[in-house]
Structure 1
Amino acid sequence: MSVIALAAGGTAGHIEPAIACAKAIKEIDNNANVFIVGTSKGLERDIVSKRGIELALIPATPLPRNISFATLSLPFRLLAAKRIAQQLLVDRKVDCVVGFGAYVSLPMYLAAKKLKIPVIIHEGNKKAGLANRVGSKFAKEVFQMFPNSIKGAKTIGMPLRTEISNLNKETARNNARVSFGLDPNKQTLLVFGGSQGASSVNKAIVGSLEELADTNIQILHAIGNKNTIDESTKKFSFYHPVSYIEKMEMAYAAADLVISRAGAMTIAEQTVLAMPAIYIPFASGNGEQSQNVAELVKDGGGVVISDAEVSPAVLVRQIKELLANPAKLHEMSQAASRHGLRDADKKVAQSALALASAHK
């Protein structure tokens, strides 16, 4: 029996690909023992167990972006996390480690290297993070979503849930709209900001409602669990705010146009589904989201608005222009589909099982 540990945590963008790969591994070899390794500080504690996958925890080891006291203490914290990870790998008799970046991955990579356990890396962002850059130096296999993220890596796209990758939007559209309380015959705009929502996008959408009231569109808006919307929006019957969308595949099926952030997972889902989209990259970090979406926008698969420029007036103009032009939406859809790669979950799973088998 192969034992495979998948290191992923922090945000849904790291966790969801790991879950997709875990399920793909079990589909290929139901006897494989697969579990996810995360930390107590990310979303993994809320997400992983609900999907029927075991979660093991090690200490978080944040990698500072700037010189600070945290930088000076990093070697000691990393060494402690590596020792715990190493003991976990020994205790569980792990045959292969698959990492997706983020804080949890680096100590897992280093522990696996020490124990001569094969490592596989998947990099989701256009600009590779430190953990994956380090791990790629000794990994047996390196995969990436975007070309040229890591030198020598294989571009395979993003591991996605089968509910997304196998979705037939046209077949599901009417039922999807009805399930959200939408009119089956109206053009539908889907708005969301990722797993945590997006306050700047929320404000701009709410501010645009008066101008959009005279159009024949409806809006499905995931505002985020931690955000609230002004009670005055209830007067707009075409506006449907929800805290969170559990079944994103149904939301995509309902939509003619999407407004979203530009996280790697979001881009992967929307390109695989050929969704026309307005992207508003999250401004923090090292500009990863702007880099993620640059080639897609250049090729006509989306429109980008910077977070600093987003406003009700800008959104109204873009929404009206696009939804009034079916030919343009079709062109965007076709361009987006050319960037959508499927079956990354299966490719990672096959590689993990092969390396795990050879390690025994």
Structure 2
Amino acid sequence: MPAKILLYSTAVVLLTLGMKAISSILIPIFFSFFAFLIFSPLVRWLMKKGVPGKVSVFLVILLFIFVFFGTAVLFANSLIQLSNMIPSYDTQLQSILGTVSTHFPVSGDTLTSVLRSIATFAFRVSGNIVTGALNAGSTVVLIFIVTTFLLLDSAGAPVKVQKEVEDQPVYLSRFTELSKTVINFMLLRTETNLIGGIGVAILFLIGGIDFAVLWGLLFFLFGYIPYLGFYLATIPPMLLGLFKYGPVGALGVLVGVTIINALIENVLFPSIAGRGLKLSTTIVFLSLIYWSYVLGAAGALIAVPLTIVVKIVLESSEDTRLMAKLMESRGTRDQVEEDEGKNGA
């Protein structure tokens, strides 16, 4: 057993170092793979409606291009407008600090330094993550090409499966099951992020927070980052709420997005747990650190999906199945045992 543990540990270290060394290649490949998972159900839906496979893929790729470039243009325009408005925000900040310094024994310079440090950190971290995602898009041609081939293979998969099913029924059944598991997770996470992003944008539009659509997109994007994403996406609009309405505005932004996030994470997203996808809190947090180290800022966006893929791979082997079980939350194991009990009954 110690020899096996040493072997696995060495393999993990070598694999980690290898992936980090070629991260610039892996990032667009991973993004292509997850884009394929998100868009492949749409291709199948079009094919069921009678649209030929290649035409379905072409239409979906056009949608992919439109979404990607539309989002990039919106981000770029919003950031340019935001940079142009910074001088006016600075004036509002000085006014707020003057009011605060009259009630608290803290110098205005100290408050200015603290708030600017917080703002700089928040915008820098947010910018790094967004830039990491867009840097993956800098090889956008490769992403589109790989995604296109994956979708074309997917469109022809039913025929291939039918031909091979007699020879390898167990492996094909397992592969189909695992593919559905990852696709279900990606779709559910994307749907809940979209609902949350739209909710945030509407809230900010009603509240008069500048760049409401930009912050909605930011919440959608950062929704893929477990735990930290919500807080990172909250800080920039909170600062704008502070500049425009004072402390009450910042508090209103915090309360509003907290309610939306609570509804998303505690009402909508928990349905995933019923599908056996729930990972333990510790594993999710460690995966965020690990994939951010290996792939940089872009790794934070796909940390959970990649970890689910790892868990699925571990479950496929008897030697590593225990490791996969240890990655699950206690509640999920209880649910599995309950389901097994029902099946046994």
**TM-score, length of structure 2 as denominator length:** 0.23
User: Which protein is richer in strand relative to its size?
Assistant: 1
Bigger radius of gyration: 2
Larger RCO, structure (CA 8 Å, separation 6 or more): 2
